[in-house]
Chains A and B, each alone.
Chain A
Amino acid sequence: MIKKQYTGAARRARNIIWNAAGRYDFDPPFMAFFANGHPDQYFNMVAGLVDKWLDMPKLWDFFLSYEGDRRADEFDDYLWLGLENCVYEKELPERPILAQLRRERGELFFIEQQQMSRQQMEYQSMPVFTQQEYRWATACGRRPPLLTPREKRIAQALRFSGELDTDGVLQAMRTFLLDFFRFTPGPDTVKRHRATPLAKLLFKHEHKRRDRLLVRAGTGEGDHEKARQQRHAGLGRHVGPGPEDAAYVEAVFGRASLTEHELRILENELCVGDDGLCRLWVTKGEAVQTRDKDALEVRESAARQEKRNEAFCAGHAAMIEGSVRALATRIETVFSSYLRHLPEPARAGRIRPEAAWRLPVLNDALVFLKNGEETDPEICVDLLLDASQSRMHSQEVLSAEGYIIARSLQKLHIPVRVCAFRSIRSYTVLEILKDWRQPDCRGLRRYFAGGWNRDGLAIETLGRLDDDEAIRGKTRLMLVLTDGSPNDSTPLPTNGLLLEREYEGEAAVRSAQEAVRRLRAQGLRIGAVFHGNTSHLENVHRIYGHAYIRIQKANQLAQGVSDLLLMLLREIRQD
């Protein structure tokens, strides 16, 4: 019934819980799903109501106190029946529909029971099943099963009163486990049948100063042979970047294209909140002299990658040019439906003094100008490429994909800028591969993967780089080529908490989502081209809303990007 799991339906389950709890700032420790994977509306509500009426962290501590015991699932199921009754009684006066929802949940229990396979029945704990059957039968007015005297006492004990507070509920839970299972939760009483994941938990914090670009490959969390994903492995708390880190970043990626003063202003504005421990570096790749061995090693590797990118482009020249043509044609079609209208002669509007004589002489009233059918693109496009380590297995393809998009836009005289982003040693580095005015897209061959990706900060930084004359007055679109998995070794600020929270998973997605929301509020249109694992699809949906497309191969790019542009342009037109 209540299981700790995260599936595709998890967001929906979480929403039901948050809604019932009346707050959205916590990650629910429990979610409820039916056997078919659909979220259980009623029991997720119950989980939310537990947070609303009781002190969830205290209860969670209690559940954790017997984690690892072989009867843990059974205990969970029992205790949640108790909690269900408690919060039901508390909430009912405020939410009369709860009685109906409880009845319907009861009916669903019996429908589900009929559909259970024999194996599922075998996995089911029969004593728990009996209690559930009894609870739901009474809830929906069915005839309850016959209970033994002990089962009756259990059923009675699981009717936690709605008048109990958290301590009362905890006492009732302890009493229940003691009376019926002679069990008192604690490290000595837990009968383990599996290894606790504590070690994993403890070693989660990494000594960030040891970050290097190319040493983390193959830590084994990718979902196929070649996929590599960095893990936050190590010990110690975060130490902020020092001058040697700045020197390393400069040595690897090149001199900053912004002055120190400009960078400081950007940092003051953007490196706050979740990104409070980060620094920024914006570069066009202008190399500097260095003797740093690490940096030289990375630079050599990047040079090798550049050659590989070139070789890939040469080997696939026909396919790439074909894709550019296809994409340019599609974009042209899309843009033809959204463009600024050029003036044309009309019978009302702004008068054309040079043609005014036609009125009295020729009785021609077409001496005015109005917005006509012809149009002028008032659009410019920022293309942002994720250049983190996770893209390592597809560097050549990504470089080519970026080239295809940039070149197609350029063909249509739409200003385009291409940047790659990654984070390393607490610096989020934005590397400009092609600037607005650069006439060719050769810079894209410099693309290489390495480091982490702090998506939110990178997107916001690029959003702020908008002072070029070439794009003044134009509507900016930003396309992000992403794998939907923001992850950085620089943690989120502790904000007074003892332990650091890593920039990964839920917290990272939320941070990126916020960044995108803020930029959209400023009028910037952002969409994502998603090229990654299905497991990260939900992240992309959360970060970018509907404005994303998924591609799996380079030849899907034309269709995908044009669809995305169409989506963004429609948005503009609707506003």
Chain B
Amino acid sequence: MSDLYTFLEAEGVDKALLAGVKTFREKYPTEAENAPRVPDPEYYYYGKKTWELALAAILAGKNLLLAGPKATGKNVLCENLGALFGRPVWNVSFHINTDAAYLVGTDTYDGHKVSFRPGPIWLCAAKGGFGVLDEINMAKNEALAVLHAALDFRRSLDVPGYEKIDLRPETRFIATMNYGYAGTRDLNEALTSRFAVLDMPVITEDNLQKLIARRYPGISPKIRDQLVRLYGELERKAESAEISDAALDLRGLLDAIALMEQGLRSGDALDMCIVNKSFDAYERGLIRDVIAARVPADLTRADVFPT
């Protein structure tokens, strides 16, 4: 926690909110059995305002819905929040066939009797964790009705045929959604009203510079600058619907730098981590044109990491 906490102090996040985090942690210390589930984030989320909004919502006991396009750091923020508050995280990836049994639990036979096998939401409620409901709008609304009581003031989970349990006070749910993805649907009002909705902004050039500099301190500032601009150009191209979102991949950009650090030439690394994410030959051509106008294809590790 201390690293992340110091990072947030350095980012200038509101002191009162950070004090609130401290109090929360003192009140709800991490139990040893849950410690392995507390995330240890590889990346920190950059964005002072977003941090402040998220912290305020969590401290006020609200559930959060992070809505925004691809590569805005929704999952990074979820992980960071889990780590900052020292809570175990249950990550549930939603899909079209997600149903109540998958979320809450199901019956099974343990060799002697029929017993209840708890699902991630139930575990999260019982152990005071942070439940990350990833891509919540991929699921059918009716499958999510089971969460209503858990998400509103009742803070309880009623499993038909078994006990009703109350959520532990430190339990929070953080949902993510991307309204641009194919196959997503609008959340119904009943569900949306149970969340504080945080509209995730696209990472700014400054913050992307900081993110890369922190993760790869040895990278040449000039190359870093060109990679950041390249990302901005791909973003504009995707926004204009000239290419799909496939290549607009922040993880891909960071992975490409990692491959360059391993000794791969820049062209190959960017091909693997950005260009080839598109499965359309024509689109790949468009993406290559953007890259070719920013980053030479033959940069070696010595060029990218000069020291």
CA gap between A498 and B129 in the complex, in Å: 61
- Asked if A479 lies at the interface with its beta carbon under 8 angstroms from chain B, I say no
A16 touches B184 (CB 8 A): no
Q: Quick one: given A15-B286, A101-B293, are A368 and B179 in contact (CB under 8 Å)?
A: no
- Asked if B301 lies at the interface with its beta carbon under 8 angstroms from chain A, I say no
A521 touches B242 (CB 8 A): no
B95 touches A575 (CB 8 A): yes
Quick one: CB contact mask for B13-25 with A, threshold 8 Å, 1 for yes? 0000000000000
A371 touches B290 (CB 8 A): no
A545 touches B244 (CB 8 A): yes
* Interface positions of A from 68 to 101, Cβ below 8 Å from B: 94-97, 100-101
* Interface positions of B from 228 to 271, Cβ below 8 Å from A: 229, 233, 236-237, 239-242, 244
- Asked if A351 lies at the interface with its beta carbon under 8 angstroms from chain B, I say yes
Contact size range, A: 35 or more
- Asked if B180 lies at the interface with its beta carbon under 8 angstroms from chain A, I say yes
CA gap between A350 and B106 in the complex, in Å: 6
B236 touches A22 (CB 8 A): yes
CB distance from A536 to the nearest CB of B (A): 16
B181 touches A575 (CB 8 A): yes
Q: Quick one: given A41-B293, A348-B107, are A575 and B96 in contact (CB under 8 Å)?
A: yes
- Asked if B292 lies at the interface with its beta carbon under 8 angstroms from chain A, I say yes
Q: Quick one: given A12-B285, A368-B108, are A19 and B182 in contact (CB under 8 Å)?
A: no
- Asked if A272 lies at the interface with its beta carbon under 8 angstroms from chain B, I say no
Quick one: CB contact mask for A387-430 with B, threshold 8 Å, 1 for yes? 00000000000000000000000000000000000000000000
Quick one: CB contact mask for A440-452 with B, threshold 8 Å, 1 for yes? 0000000000000
Chain B residues with Cβ under 8 A from A347's Cβ?
108-109
Closest to A351 in B: B107
* Interface positions of A from 519 to 575, Cβ below 8 Å from B: 520-523, 525, 541, 545-546, 571-572, 574-575
Quick one: CB contact mask for A457-498 with B, threshold 8 Å, 1 for yes? 000000000000000000000000000000000000000000
Chain B residues with Cβ under 8 A from A94's Cβ?
229
B107 touches A12 (CB 8 A): no
CA gap between A520 and B183 in the complex, in Å: 7
A513 touches B241 (CB 8 A): yes
Closest to B183 in A: A575
Chain B residues with Cβ under 8 A from A12's Cβ?
282, 285-286, 289
B185 touches A522 (CB 8 A): yes
B294 touches A520 (CB 8 A): no
Q: Quick one: given A24-B240, A368-B107, are A100 and B296 in contact (CB under 8 Å)?
A: yes
- Asked if B186 lies at the interface with its beta carbon under 8 angstroms from chain A, I say yes
B107 touches A350 (CB 8 A): yes
CA gap between A371 and B114 in the complex, in Å: 19
Quick one: CB contact mask for B276-307 with A, threshold 8 Å, 1 for yes? 00001010011001101111100000000000
Q: Quick one: given A20-B293, A41-B289, A356-B114, are A546 and B280 in contact (CB under 8 Å)?
A: yes
* Interface positions of A from 330 to 360, Cβ below 8 Å from B: 341, 347-351, 356, 359
Q: Quick one: given A24-B242, A371-B97, are A359 and B109 in contact (CB under 8 Å)?
A: yes
Q: Quick one: given A12-B285, A18-B240, are A359 and B114 in contact (CB under 8 Å)?
A: yes
- Asked if A517 lies at the interface with its beta carbon under 8 angstroms from chain B, I say yes
CA gap between A545 and B238 in the complex, in Å: 13
- Asked if A45 lies at the interface with its beta carbon under 8 angstroms from chain B, I say yes
Contact size range, B: 35 or more
CA gap between A20 and B236 in the complex, in Å: 11
CB distance from A456 to the nearest CB of B (A): 13
CB distance from A349 to the nearest CB of B (A): 6
CA gap between A480 and B130 in the complex, in Å: 45
CA gap between A572 and B185 in the complex, in Å: 12
- Asked if A365 lies at the interface with its beta carbon under 8 angstroms from chain B, I say yes
CB distance from B123 to the nearest CB of A (A): 17
- Asked if B8 lies at the interface with its beta carbon under 8 angstroms from chain A, I say no
CB contact between A97 and one of B109, B285, B296 (< 8 Å): that residue: B296
- Asked if B213 lies at the interface with its beta carbon under 8 angstroms from chain A, I say no
Quick one: CB contact mask for B26-55 with A, threshold 8 Å, 1 for yes? 000000000000000000000000000000
CB distance from B115 to the nearest CB of A (A): 10
CA gap between A201 and B130 in the complex, in Å: 64
CA gap between A15 and B282 in the complex, in Å: 12
A96 touches B240 (CB 8 A): no
B237 touches A19 (CB 8 A): yes
CA gap between A18 and B95 in the complex, in Å: 36
CA gap between A378 and B239 in the complex, in Å: 32
B240 touches A348 (CB 8 A): no
CA gap between A308 and B108 in the complex, in Å: 64
Quick one: CB contact mask for B130-152 with A, threshold 8 Å, 1 for yes? 00000000100000000000000
A97 touches B226 (CB 8 A): yes
Chain B residues with Cβ under 8 A from A20's Cβ?
293
- Asked if B165 lies at the interface with its beta carbon under 8 angstroms from chain A, I say no
Chain A residues with Cβ under 8 A from B181's Cβ?
575
CB distance from A550 to the nearest CB of B (A): 15
CB contact between A572 and one of B180, B183, B241, B294 (< 8 Å): that residue: B183
CA gap between A347 and B236 in the complex, in Å: 51
A523 touches B242 (CB 8 A): no
CB distance from B223 to the nearest CB of A (A): 10
Chain B residues with Cβ under 8 A from A513's Cβ?
241
Most chain B beta carbons < 10 A, residue from A23, A351, A371 = A351
Quick one: CB contact mask for B93-116 with A, threshold 8 Å, 1 for yes? 001110001000011110000100
Closest to A347 in B: B109
CB distance from A110 to the nearest CB of B (A): 20
Closest to B142 in A: A473
- Asked if B154 lies at the interface with its beta carbon under 8 angstroms from chain A, I say no
- Asked if B117 lies at the interface with its beta carbon under 8 angstroms from chain A, I say yes
A15 touches B289 (CB 8 A): yes
CA gap between A365 and B110 in the complex, in Å: 9
CB distance from A362 to the nearest CB of B (A): 13
CA gap between A574 and B182 in the complex, in Å: 10
Q: Quick one: given A24-B242, A348-B117, A522-B185, are A97 and B295 in contact (CB under 8 Å)?
A: yes
Chain A residues with Cβ under 8 A from B164's Cβ?
none
Most chain A beta carbons < 10 A, residue from B96, B182, B294, B296 = B182
Most chain A beta carbons < 10 A, residue from B138, B183, B239 = B183
CA gap between A545 and B279 in the complex, in Å: 12
CB distance from A129 to the nearest CB of B (A): 27
CB distance from B114 to the nearest CB of A (A): 6
CA gap between A46 and B108 in the complex, in Å: 67
CB distance from B239 to the nearest CB of A (A): 8
CA gap between A571 and B70 in the complex, in Å: 18
Q: Quick one: given A12-B286, A517-B241, are A45 and B95 in contact (CB under 8 Å)?
A: no
CA gap between A348 and B116 in the complex, in Å: 10
CA gap between A35 and B117 in the complex, in Å: 69
Q: Quick one: given A368-B108, A521-B179, are A41 and B240 in contact (CB under 8 Å)?
A: no
Q: List, sorted by A's number, 16 A–B pairs whose CB atoms are closer than 8 Å.
A: A95-B229, A95-B293, A96-B222, A97-B293, A100-B296, A349-B106, A356-B114, A365-B109, A367-B114, A368-B109, A513-B241, A521-B179, A521-B180, A521-B182, A575-B95, A575-B96
Further contacts, 10 of them, CB under 8 A, given A12-B289, A15-B242: A16-B293, A19-B236, A19-B290, A19-B293, A341-B97, A368-B107, A371-B97, A513-B241, A521-B179, A575-B138
